[in-house]
Structure 1
């Protein structure tokens, strides 16, 4: 188990097998328990209190039969837990009121009243029973009515029952059933308002029934019902009809001067009542000329008549995302919906298809002012989704229609160039935009800095100053967090590590997702280019502070450099941070290297189990060498093509024949070891024997001197 202090809370992290079931409870005010589905587990608490104090966590112990962990709390604290990356159980202890105990299970009687009933008599609760005290009524028969109903289509009762029960059960489990679906209780409200609004409700774009249905289907399909851009509907996603998106027909050349004033004059009728038809027509007229905010404000006048499609169009026209998901999943539609689906989606789900031809055709039919407004943004989105050819054609089409190339079009073309790899051309344009005041200047500054850091180049002083100014000026706006991130990039790229990381730690108002991304970028730049002193100052003592704020790629990069500097314990601290995938190859290789640096070859071997490759064999050979298995090490180094290490392992193994062909000190020494000494047992040795002994002694001394010289330790 790992631990760390995070300011106002203490975090405990435990690695679990995949799909392991667990439950956190707080049976007492100062005690929390984590229970697992089975028992027999052994837990290592030896290092937990090395990184945390006992201000919140007083002690840890194992539950009976190893079925879980008991956490004794030292404060009036609440414990919460979540599963990270499907393998790490994260428990946070912070000051607060403990959760209320779980309610007692319902009584059998109340449970019977709420059970789902399937079969021929579908319903909730017990089946209806006759009451002898109530009068009986008989339903009219076919003979009474004199008409024969049409034969109902054949349906498999079992399939219908399964579908109904699954959807109801899923909805109940997910908390999606709502007993107050008012629109369902007033089926004629939309019809009474206007034919157009009634058609909208029938098509299922925003009423309570379709919302509940979509949520149920998303839950059954394993999707997040609130992730509207990636939702999947059973039976496919219907495309919004073209006649509901024909913006060209909603106005004309005199829309602003004539049509809108006339409609505004007729908006309220007798008794100051809103005219639904006029309201819809006026909202469409506003959209025709690109006035999204005005159209949306108009639609808010009467929530009963609020058209979700028009509301979504109003937001997209103003540059906002389709937050309600009206056009979600419709980028492959063969109609106008494909254009609005792409324009309203900041990002598409993986594998989403785009009908570029449909988007181009829909774009041609838009009013010219809307083409000028949406064209550059739409072209950029096409390029981002892998269709740069369609994107450039769209810009050329717009330039021909307007007879000019606007700044928006130039800026979009630069972004497309960058996406296609023409970074130098894009950079020149972006820096030109950044140098002059304008709508695109802040974004251009951020993009130019990003290009410089991607290329590992310093950021110019002018660009750094602009990023600082924009980050301060626009801090409270939507662009503020990204501009802060750009300025942080610039400082780190220019070697201003103290200032850069001070800015990071003082950015509590920046969204966590931006901070996580910025921390990763800053640490990777620091690891790659900072001198050892600056690198160590920002990393050695701050592993716990970065826990939960850094992506695994950055933590592993920092750990690897620390290990290369000989700081194995500090490297282990970074490698153990929350979020690292301990089953990943890179993580396991790093773990093995850390164990070897700590002289723990057995643990290194365990970390390498199941891995293959030359890098794995090299680490395994070193582990075996440290364990004394020199024969395995020599064979492995021979296979890796590292003769010097192979000879060293052979020397340690005493495998002298393996050194016969070595033309170096080890080979010469091995030859001496294997050589036979002259027979000196004679009483009166001959002169030849004496000369032979003297020569052998000289060779031995020379070989030993060379061996000592080759193995001399460096003086520093």
Structure 2
């Protein structure tokens, strides 16, 4: 029997044997921390009754117990009055002793952390010293802390105490600024004008050094984004770490310099100073999990709060309207929340309106969360979600983003997780993106289609096109809710790899274009369909798709961008017949490509296909003052040369240099009959064949005959050879035979010359 029990215990899962969650605690100055050692991937919820000082923590598993015996060994009861296990066994109830705020997050996958801090620092007594006479050391420490945390706004502003000589600090001007020349002489310092900018800079540097030495200064810096070495989307002017290349040190120096332009002194009762000018939306306006009590039935709470919006005489209660909008956002109804907020005639709800767009995976055009990716609070999460889909370099506080993500209700984590991972990956933080997807997978217990889509998009950003293709192919053909996004990602994958798009994806993109035509996703699918046609070299079909586009829902900028893409693809890859058909149509419609390089490429193809007039019309779109002006002038000269307008071409080339210019000038001289000058130009360019041709036309037989044995050289040598000396008065048989042989040799050389210079039908 005992042996059987041992076998049974060995077979039981580990989490069934460890049913007790230990709880540890500690005081951290401005807050009290509780740490719950939980099994990995365990779900949890935090609930608080608004009118009571009680918080309930529920762990999403039955049969757990809590070891609370050592909770108050290291903390007092100024913030946490008591903690007890609830009757259901998997919950604890925290009774608060103050008007406190409780924040929760998961650390390292196995520790659930609760931080309790007073809402009003003036009421926070946890840091106050106990009653009784202070010791000398306490008095000195208190004085030092008070001086170091003081912000001076007198004649010479600064942080911390007035300057005094300190041999332990770097040698910076540390004496108290003299109030007069006499004071300066008395302290033995050189007299200088403290209004000078350099002196003010010294003062700031000394204050920063003192604050950093004492550990009361926090620099607002963040880990730099990572981009794979093969990425071509790195912003211009930045190195591979996302730091402007113009900065010699490029990291903390630049960030601190930017931060000093708007110093934010955030003490918040902690006597710490944060340097770095970040405008961050407060966490208080982003606590979405608290807007609805956990476990509340959605229809019930929506009906109750909607009914309170309209009061007597159908007047709108603004406070009730805000509560109702928050409730809708809590459940992820962005469009419905916007419609509700539009009932108000008063200005406001800026944060809620911005959240409503982001909830629907749409961009907030007002950019309320812009530039807050490096904020230490919840604003970082929403600022990352608000980033554009195109990859770019952004400084992101990933720890703050993950904390904000964990604070969301579980249904919003599932809704926003893949989007957040995609934005983090595009911003250069693949590890954080992968962390988000792993957390989401653990909370769901499996990999859903949305998680698989997020993983495929992460692989796409990281350049692992093979892994992304396998996942996207499956998602695109399953017909699930993620199929539309998978189709878009699959076409983007084909574009990145330079491969054609399978026919079924082209048809699906076309079908979804019709299905989503009146929605925000409609233009995206239209773009994807046209892109797929271009990747498959279906240039005529893509051109027709653009010409027949429905302008009622397609923005002009989207249509213009796709037409430019189509023109560039035609110039690069289309055959001559297709190019001429589509390019001449664009020219008739006076379509001007957005990039000068595209205009030049079209003109070059017109010249190669023998249409100099069309090339000139195309080149007329480029102003001479533009960066492409010099290259356009050379092409214009080539077109004029083909048209026989030699003088005009030569005038264009006046004052220009380079091999292309010399080559055109040589051809001009050649066509104008100045073969000798043309030959010297060709020789300078290393064009030996053209130089010999020009020498032949100019009668320079010696140059033609030298160093070669071809038909031209033999003919040139024949021309230069003296005539046979025949004694007509004394003819002989030998002389006649020699003349006959010379005639045969001459005839063979002439025949070879005619064959070498024969004009064929091609």
TM-score, with length taken from structure 2: 0.55
Question: 1:623 deviation in Å?
Answer: 4.1
Question: Contact 2:449–2:475 at 8 Å: present in 1 too?
Answer: no
| Structure 1 residue 408 corresponds to structure 2 residue 450 | yes
Q: Hey, what's the Cα distance between the residues in 2 that align with 1:580 and 1:423?
A: 43
Q: Hey, what's the Cα distance between the residues in 2 that align with 1:334 and 1:691?
A: 107
Q: Hey, what's the Cα distance between the residues in 2 that align with 1:611 and 1:335?
A: 60
3-state secondary structure, aligned to 1:540 = helix
2:516 is aligned, of 474, 494, 502, to: 474
Name the CA shift for 1:290/1:583 in 2 (closer, same or farther; >3 Å): same
Deviations along 1:629-667, one digit per CA (max 9) or x if unpaired, are 555654554565543233323434444444411232232
Report the counterpart of residue 668 of structure 1 in structure 2.
714
| Structure 1 residue 344 corresponds to structure 2 residue 386 | yes
Report the counterpart of residue 543 of structure 1 in structure 2.
587
2:504 is aligned, of 452, 459, 462, to: 462
Question: Contact 2:460–2:493 at 8 Å: present in 1 too?
Answer: no
3-state secondary structure, aligned to 2:709 = coil
Q: Hey, what's the Cα distance between the residues in 1 that align with 2:404 and 2:623?
A: 44
Q: Hey, what's the Cα distance between the residues in 1 that align with 2:727 and 2:396?
A: 96
| Structure 1 residue 591 corresponds to structure 2 residue 636 | yes
3-state secondary structure, aligned to 2:589 = helix
| Structure 1 residue 571 corresponds to structure 2 residue 612 | no
1:397 is aligned, of 416, 439, 464, to: 439
Deviations along 1:352-376, one digit per CA (max 9) or x if unpaired, are 6444454344334433332222221
Question: Contact 2:421–2:434 at 8 Å: present in 1 too?
Answer: yes
Name the CA shift for 1:582/1:302 in 2 (closer, same or farther; >3 Å): closer
Name the CA shift for 1:364/1:684 in 2 (closer, same or farther; >3 Å): farther
Q: Hey, what's the Cα distance between the residues in 1 that align with 2:672 and 2:296?
A: 86
3-state secondary structure, aligned to 2:363 = coil
Q: Hey, what's the Cα distance between the residues in 2 that align with 1:447 and 1:610?
A: 51
Per mean C-alpha deviation after superposition, the further-off stretch among 353-362 and 682-691 is: 682-691
TM-score, with length taken from structure 1: 0.58
Q: Hey, what's the Cα distance between the residues in 1 that align with 2:599 and 2:392?
A: 27
Question: 1:406 deviation in Å?
Answer: 2.3
Question: 1:548 deviation in Å?
Answer: 4.2
Deviations along 1:459-498, one digit per CA (max 9) or x if unpaired, are 4443333233223333333233333344444556656655
Per mean C-alpha deviation after superposition, the further-off stretch among 268-277 and 626-635 is: 268-277
Report the counterpart of residue 315 of structure 1 in structure 2.
357
Q: Hey, what's the Cα distance between the residues in 2 that align with 1:453 and 1:264?
A: 48
1:242 is aligned, of 263, 283, 286, to: 283
Report the counterpart of residue 713 of structure 1 in structure 2.
759
Question: Contact 2:302–2:327 at 8 Å: present in 1 too?
Answer: yes
Report the counterpart of residue 522 of structure 1 in structure 2.
566
Question: Contact 2:607–2:615 at 8 Å: present in 1 too?
Answer: yes
Question: Contact 2:391–2:427 at 8 Å: present in 1 too?
Answer: no
Q: How does 1:5-24 map to 2 (within 5 A)?
A: none
Q: Hey, what's the Cα distance between the residues in 2 that align with 1:326 and 1:255?
A: 30
Q: How does 1:225-264 map to 2 (within 5 A)?
A: 238-254=279-295
1:293 is aligned, of 335, 357, 365, to: 335
Q: Which runs of 5+ in 2 are unaligned?
A: 1-152, 158-260, 263-276
Question: Contact 1:666–1:707 at 8 Å: present in 2 too?
Answer: yes
Name the CA shift for 1:562/1:243 in 2 (closer, same or farther; >3 Å): same
Deviations along 1:501-558, one digit per CA (max 9) or x if unpaired, are 4443222524322322332333444445555444433343552225147755555444
Question: 1:715 deviation in Å?
Answer: 2.1
Q: Hey, what's the Cα distance between the residues in 2 that align with 1:615 and 1:424?
A: 44
Question: 1:714 deviation in Å?
Answer: 1.4
Q: How does 1:42-81 map to 2 (within 5 A)?
A: none
Report the counterpart of residue 433 of structure 1 in structure 2.
475
Question: Contact 1:279–1:299 at 8 Å: present in 2 too?
Answer: yes
Question: Contact 1:548–1:578 at 8 Å: present in 2 too?
Answer: no
Question: 1:443 deviation in Å?
Answer: 4.0
3-state secondary structure, aligned to 2:329 = helix
Name the CA shift for 1:587/1:435 in 2 (closer, same or farther; >3 Å): farther
Report the counterpart of residue 144 of structure 1 in structure 2.
none
Q: Hey, what's the Cα distance between the residues in 2 that align with 1:403 and 1:609?
A: 75
Report the counterpart of residue 306 of structure 1 in structure 2.
348
1:331 is aligned, of 342, 355, 373, to: 373
Deviations along 1:672-709, one digit per CA (max 9) or x if unpaired, are 33334444587546766666655554444333322222
Report the counterpart of residue 645 of structure 1 in structure 2.
690
Name the CA shift for 1:577/1:274 in 2 (closer, same or farther; >3 Å): same
Deviations along 1:425-468, one digit per CA (max 9) or x if unpaired, are 33333333332323333343344345556766554443333233
Question: Contact 2:391–2:426 at 8 Å: present in 1 too?
Answer: no
Question: 1:312 deviation in Å?
Answer: 0.9
Q: Hey, what's the Cα distance between the residues in 2 that align with 1:454 and 1:622?
A: 42
Question: 1:273 deviation in Å?
Answer: 6.4
Name the CA shift for 1:576/1:666 in 2 (closer, same or farther; >3 Å): same
Question: Contact 1:678–1:689 at 8 Å: present in 2 too?
Answer: no
| Structure 1 residue 702 corresponds to structure 2 residue 748 | yes
Q: Hey, what's the Cα distance between the residues in 1 that align with 2:462 and 2:664?
A: 40
Question: Contact 1:548–1:579 at 8 Å: present in 2 too?
Answer: no
Name the CA shift for 1:444/1:569 in 2 (closer, same or farther; >3 Å): farther
Question: 1:561 deviation in Å?
Answer: 2.9
Question: 1:618 deviation in Å?
Answer: 4.4
Name the CA shift for 1:530/1:248 in 2 (closer, same or farther; >3 Å): same
Question: Contact 2:571–2:605 at 8 Å: present in 1 too?
Answer: yes
Q: Which structure is larger by alpha-carbon Rg, 1 or 2? A: 2
3-state secondary structure, aligned to 1:482 = helix
Name the CA shift for 1:456/1:654 in 2 (closer, same or farther; >3 Å): farther
Q: Hey, what's the Cα distance between the residues in 2 that align with 1:289 and 1:503?
A: 39
Name the CA shift for 1:416/1:703 in 2 (closer, same or farther; >3 Å): farther
Question: Contact 1:299–1:305 at 8 Å: present in 2 too?
Answer: no
